Amino acid sequence: MLKGFKDFLFKGNIIDLAIAFVMGTAFTAVVKSFTDGIINPLIARIGGSSGIGLGFQLGENDNKATFVDLGTVITAGINFVLIAAVLYFVLVVPVDSIKKRKIQEGNEELTDNDVLIQIRDLLSGANEKPHN
């Protein structure tokens, strides 16, 4: 029972998933600091106010609870696109290329001569066995 669990844990897919999760979490912090430090000020500037940002107020009072902050939504979208793009180009593309290379190496076609040599070797091996 434990051997089966150990085999499950150490299969390539589980390890790849764990590595991708850790890398994604670490990279999220980098992208968040980039958007907080660079993108958010730009969005706030477009919105016309450095304190509130891009959005609109529901109602006539200046209540922050009724402010629809579109800048936050735009920032989350930018975060998602940046993280997805980097993970795709850093993890998915190289892994796919390695998988394709392994498949191509395993599917080498045999020539007619190779097939005939294999048949000859099989037949000569069968003739060498003693008959009872």
The class (CATH top level) of 2-128 is mainly alpha
| Per-residue pLDDT reduced to its tens digit, 4-14 | 766 666 666 77
Alpha helices in the chain (DSSP H): 2-9, 12-34, 40-47, 70-87, 93-106, 112-128
Max CA distance (Å), the chain = 104
List the domain boundaries for the chain.
2-128
| Per-residue pLDDT reduced to its tens digit, 59-95 | 777 777 777 777 778 888 888 888 888 878 887 788 7
Name the β-bridge partners of 67.
57
**Residue 95, C-beta contacts closer than 8 angstroms, at least 6 positions apart:** 16
Tokens representing 26 are: 């670490």
